Chains A and B, each alone.
Chain A
Amino acid sequence: MSTTPVLPTPGDAPSSIGVPPEPRSPARGVWARVRHVALPFGSLLLFLVLWQLLAASGTWSETLVPSPAKVWDAFVNVSTTHDGVRGYNGTYLVEHLGISLRRIALGAGIGIALGVLSGLLMGTVGWVRSLFEPWITFLRTLPPLAYFSLLVIWLGINEEPKVTLLAVAAFPPVAVSTTTAVVAVPKSLVEAARALGASRWDVVRDVVVPSALPQTLTGVRLAVGVAYSSLVAAELVNGLPGIGGMVKDAANYNNTPVVLVGIIAIGVSGLIIDGLLLRLERTAVPWRGHA
């Protein structure tokens, strides 16, 4: 027996089969760092250089393509008090952004809450889904600008139409993804819960909701994105103070540098918020992919 070659025990089998050894060479680690840090910054730098060259070439007038330095100056201007003027139109850039973010938080928050509720309802009760799904699809295909005029007629020009527009824009993605997620809840887990003595309500709370959570959170991210891209539309009328209103107002005066500052501020804050939501998604649903 001792002369026979050593056979792998059953316990060793998984490690010796199928999984290729992972070469962790230093070169590979450096490349990963280059890819995650250097490439994004490199592309940003390249973009700035091209922009500068384009502006300096004089192909287009300064009103159409202002140089990066001009945009930077505009950024400093709208962020500080200069010649007795506070920021842009009496409000600093951060404050414009803050006011808009509050509108988004309120509007998208309402839209997301309603979307989750109606998604749960539509996913669990068949006839409710048949009743509302066409309407939601209809709403989803409309560009927010199309119903903004109507909202202004109905609700005036203050906060109400802006928040409503953001809510209406955020609602469909969440409703659709929650419905899909609820419909796709594994029957086997529902049956397992019922076999343990779960009531209908227990099943919804302990199986349907957690099972639908990953896809619902993806819907929330989409909804915040949609609300964000509707921001300028929501602040078209009486949008000052507000970052979208600032962009609109600056455009009226052909103040391209401030328009660009506003666009960049919207884009960067959007990236940060999406990153935060992605992190929330990862910590809230560690079981994603294990269901």
Chain B
Amino acid sequence: MSSSEITGTVQGAGTARSGSVRIDHVTHRYGRGGETFTAVGPLDLTVPAGECLVLVGASGCGKSTLLRLIAGFERPTHGSVRVCGAEPRPGETAGVVFQTPRLFPWRTVRGNIDLALRYAGVERARWPERRAELLARVGLDGTERRRVWEISGGQQQRVAIARALAAENPLLLLDEPFAALDALTRERLQEDVRRVTDLTGRTTVFVTHSADEAVFLGSRIVVLTRSPGTVALDLPISLPRGDVDAEELRGSREFAELRAQVSHAVKAAAAT
């Protein structure tokens, strides 16, 4: 199954397993009483099923908070967040990849994946097949028995991605997952995430501060203003997806132009 998926054709946007996100007049404040800090909003945003939305903005613009709202870790102070029409719940709505891998050090690579499969309610008899499929999808075959601290940072983040994909939730959320990695590993993982989102058709929200990463990954880019985060730029990206040469894509003129546009918007938004 895994091999046919890797080489197979790109699924159309919005498969049965992907979900849409609706954010209505959402405001989120931290703190209580007189000393509150508005991190997000007021914000309106709709993410159709199957889209790969990249949220870009300078640090402290509330993009991580927005991701936590969509994942269901936080409830908005005002307004509503709906995923497939329902209130988001941690563990059911979205697979989440954090800035650091957050793997369980007392478990091996295999143990980390298995735990995710168990929480996802996958039958134990199907674990070996699903595990192999997930590890192959993120390019980690043969590392099953390794301790998570023995593998490199890039590999750890791959395990985290595999773990987040285990439950087949309607959404995949990634919060600056490659910020701590070296440039080469980062590009490889970007290519992998691009491939995975294309193949699964899963609705993806990816947070980054890098214009380059945003243009490469996104089918749509939203630039947020500095706190409180509101939409400064909403840009659909029509770069080719599916089976493309990543190097060629990164070197194309269209890519450079989009990157410049996003980069400019991020700087302008940060200045406000």
Residues of A in contact with B (beta carbons under 8 Å apart): 10, 188-189, 191-198, 202, 206-207, 210-211, 213, 285-287, 290-291
Contacts and interface: CB of A to CB of B under 8 A. Distances in A.
Interface residues of B, number: 28
A60 B100 CA distance: 67
A287 B103 CA distance: 12
B186 to A, nearest CB: 12
Contacts, number: 68
Given A10-B182, A194-B91, A291 B102 contact: no
Contacts of B91: 194-198
Contacts of A286: 147
B125 to A, nearest CB: 19
Contact of A198 (B73, B98, B119): B119
Given A192-B104, A196-B164, 12 more contacts: A188-B98, A191-B90, A192-B103, A194-B73, A195-B90, A195-B91, A195-B164, A196-B167, A197-B120, A198-B119, A290-B105, A290-B147
Given A10-B182, A197-B167, A290-B105, A192 B98 contact: yes
B119 A202 contact: yes
A287 B105 CA distance: 6
B212 to A, nearest CB: 19
A192 B184 CA distance: 26
Q: Is the interface of B mostly helix, strand, loop or mixed?
A: loop
Contact of A195 (B71, B105, B121, B182): B71
Interface in B107-162: 115-116, 119-121, 147, 149
Given A10-B182, A191-B73, A287-B149, A196 B104 contact: no
A188 B147 contact: no
B55 interface: no
A211 B105 CA distance: 9
A189 B104 contact: yes
A182 to B, nearest CB: 15
Contacts of B166: 196
A188 B102 contact: yes
A189 B119 contact: no
B94 interface: yes
Interface hub of B91, B95, B163, B166 (most chain A Cβ within 10 A):
B91
Contacts of A192: 96, 98, 102-104
B106 A195 contact: no
B119 A196 contact: yes
A286 B100 CA distance: 21
Nearest to A13: B182
A139 B100 CA distance: 42
B71 A196 contact: no
Contacts of B90: 191, 194-195, 197
Interface in B49-84: 71, 73
Contacts of B44: none
A210 B106 contact: yes
B187 interface: no
